[in-house]
Amino acid sequence: MQRSDTPVYLQVRDQLWQWIQKNQLGSQERLPAERELAKHFNTTRVTIRQALGQLEAEGRIFRSNRRGWYITPRRLTYDPSLDIGFYNNVTEQGLTPGTETLSKFLIEVPDWLTEISGLAEGSSIYYVLRRRSIDHRCVVVEHNYINPKSCPGLLDQDTDLSIWQLLREKYNLVPGQRNIEIFPQALTGDEADALGVNSGSAGLYMQRLTLDKSGVFLEYDREYWLHDALKVIVQVNEK
Amino acid sequence: MQRSDTPVYLQVRDQLWQWIQKNQLGSQERLPAERELAKHFNTTRVTIRQALGQLEAEGRIFRSNRRGWYITPRRLTYDPSLDIGFYNNVTEQGLTPGTETLSKFLIEVPDWLTEISGLAEGSSIYYVLRRRSIDHRCVVVEHNYINPKSCPGLLDQDTDLSIWQLLREKYNLVPGQRNIEIFPQALTGDEADALGVNSGSAGLYMQRLTLDKSGVFLEYDREYWLHDALKVIVQVNEK
DNA sequence: AAGTGGTCTAGACCACGTG
DNA sequence: ACGTGGTCTAGACCACTTT
């Protein structure tokens, strides 16, 4: 095993991936235990875990806390400029969506949001915290801040469904301009806990500021995604 | 150190970050050696490296191969829908850009690109491979594929500058529609080597397909970024 | 030559998930 | 109760960078 000059853990990574493909492990199927792999590859758990970490970073496998390692499902294709909603987006791609509302409140506008939203200091805003899953795997935590003036009574609705569908159908609101911000960021603290992953797991952060057709602040949201769960596509035209 | 129930490496992470802030370590400044940190925190290098790995995942520090750990510079804000070019984009944000052309050729269109580009099988295309840096830190590897029919002789120009500026100024070409795809992906193999990072380092993959104003294929590129080097912003309007 | 991070060993105990 | 991954120890040698 140690004859070439590539590190053992990269050799293990490649052989393990070959093994996975040969045995045709499919989405969400479980890998052998780390100790078994260590015995099979005649090395220690530390090195095995380094190899597993590589495959994890590449998005090929993921871990479920103290349960084991599993094959990563294919990425969801996600167009943040559209409003087809999570449920439709996921089902259209042949996957099973799930949404849980973890909390929803009418809160005072946080300081950092007053400037962004243009809402007056001390005024109120709807806050909805949701966790969403694909094929029973939690993939994203979403913080929504919605202008209550545009949609009074929103929180009495079922927020496990698409908020944008509610806004469109019950309140006749349609999004206009959107400012989107995306960057890789590790999941830590509350977000890591909510998704059941370890602190430091790779993630993708996305935030959207949405105004309605007349330029009034409508919604602001922050989404914390597992790094391997999605592919973002956007279509733009030159300004 | 071990009295609470949070793991040691997370405690070390937090204390180390506090120490960094107290000592006001700035962009690209070096941290103490791992062995020193291990002694100071009265633990082993393994645990120290776990703590450093957390800060790395969070984008706060980065490693330079066998040289040490350094403070991450702030992220570049990058709008892929614009064409201000890397050089301008970076300098406008008070940073120092650098570009190296690693190779440039007229090649046969790869199979996977024929369908995307609409170019005939067996026809030719310009290929440019570049590596770019911010404040002397390599942050992205870029593969460009450009339609030679639109810009004959392009490769005789200096490709260390903005290709889009060349296209605009010398060939009078302006981008029209753009299809962009973005997702987190570990850097491995050639890309990791080119950026001088370890295989499995967190990265962001971005590809763009650009047509000109009349809908003709103009350019396709694949960019492999360090995960902590950029923040993508896009502005879209509802369709 | 000395110092650095990169890799690897051979264990150990713990917390948690599953039966 | 048992098996799992999560954490941690106390070393070792190597490859590379810097002095």
**Any idea where the domains of chain B sit in the sequence?**
8-71, 76-232
* Closest CA of chain B from A105, distance in Å: 28
Residues 6+ apart with CB under 8 A from B237: A176, A177, A178
pLDDT of chain A along its 239 residues, tens only?
333 578 999 999 999 999 999 998 999 999 999 999 999 999 999 999 999 999 999 999 999 989 999 999 999 999 988 888 999 999 999 999 999 999 999 999 999 999 999 999 999 999 999 999 999 999 999 999 999 999 999 999 898 888 988 999 889 998 999 999 999 999 999 999 999 999 999 999 999 999 998 899 999 999 999 999 999 999 988 76
| pLDDT < 70 stretches in chain B | 1-4, 239
Q: Is A201 within 8 Å of chain B by CB?
A: yes
Q: For residue B228, which residues of chain A lie inside 8 Å, CB to CB?
A: 184
A65 CA to C14 C1' distance (Å)? 14
Query: Distances in Å between the alpha carbon of B217 and those of A187, A235, A236, B143?
Result: 38, 15, 15, 16
Distance in angstroms (rounded) separating the CA atoms of residues B163 and B128: 10
Phi, psi dihedral angles at A144 (to 5 degrees): -110, 135
**Number of Cβ within a 10 Å radius of residue A238:** 15
pLDDT score for A5 = 77
| Residue B25: both structure tokens together | 């370590």
Return the CATH fold of B8-71: Arc Repressor Mutant, subunit A (1.10.10)
**Chain B contact present for A107, CB below 8 A:** no
One of 1.10.10.60, 3.40.1410.10, 3.40.50.200, 3.30.460.30 is the CATH number of B76-232, namely 3.40.1410.10
Do residues B107 and B146 touch, judged by C-beta distance below 8 A? no
Among candidate residues B50, B52, B42, the one with its CA nearest the CA of residue B17: B52
Helix axis angle for B45-57 and B8-22, nearest 10°, is: 70
Residues sharing a CB contact under 8 Å with residue B76, sequence separation 6 or more, in sequence order = B89, B90, B93, B95, B134, B139, B229, B230, B231
Q: Does the beta carbon of A76 lie under 8 angstroms from any beta carbon of chain B?
A: no
Residue A92 CA to residue A89 CA, distance in Å, equals 5
Contact A231, B205 (CB under 8 A): no
Does the model's pTM come out above 0.75? yes
User: Looking at the DSSP assignment, which residues form a beta bridge with residue B10?
Assistant: none
| CA distances in angstroms from A36 to A33, A44, B91, B237, listed in the order given | 5, 10, 53, 53
Same fold, B8-71 and B76-232: no
In chain B, residues with a C-beta closer than 8 Å to the C-beta of A213 are 238
Give the residue from chain A lying closest to B199, CA to CA: A54
- Which of residues 68-107 of A have CB within 7 Å of strand D? 68-69
Hey, which residues does A107 pair with through a beta bridge?
Answer: A125
Residues 6+ apart with CB under 8 A from B40: B32
Strand D reaches within 7 A of the B28 CB: no
**Dihedral sign of CA atoms B192, B198, B199, B203 in order:** negative
**Single-letter residue type at B70:** Y
Q: Are A99 and A132 in contact (CB under 8 A)?
A: yes
**Residue B239: its pLDDT value, please?**
61
> Considering only residues 121 to 160 of chain A, which have any Cβ-Cβ distance to chain B shorter than 8 Å?
none
Comparing CA positions, the residue from B79, B86, B84, B11 lying closest to residue B41 is B11
